[in-house]
Amino acid sequence: MLDPALFSRQLTWADALGFVNQQVVVYVSAASGVAEIPLDVQSVTESPSAPGTHQFAIWFKGPLNAPIEQGTYQLRHSSLGDFAVFMTPTAKKTEGFFYEACFSHVV
């Protein structure tokens, strides 16, 4: 179960830009407790936004031996700390599984 304090932490566009070409860790439930799965941040993209909002997505690549289901997970970056992030699998390729996390903030 995620620590409720993680939900009060908002991942900003500036935070997301700091993830590019870096690795993060996602924590998932496993038979042995909690597994740490490394994810490579592939890119961060802005989306067209409605007035008063800012939308962006973070694209991740994970290992083939550890697929992650759609859901909300604790994500940790070495210098930015922990966040609650809703991720969706988008593709399975020979080099790994790919995921997307979308964000929409009122500005």
Work out the percent of the chain whose per-residue pLDDT is above 70.
99
pLDDT for the residue numbered 1: 61
Q: How far is CA 55 from the centre of its chain?
A: 14
Give residues with Cβ within 8 angstroms of 65, minimum separation 6: none
- Indicate the domain borders of the chain: 4-106
Token pair for residue 28? 């998932």
CATH number of 4-106: 2.40.10
The whole-model pTM stands at: 0.88
Ramachandran angles phi, psi of 7, nearest 5°: -75, -20
pLDDT for the residue numbered 101: 95
The β-bridge partners of 97 are 62, 92
pLDDT for the residue numbered 64: 96
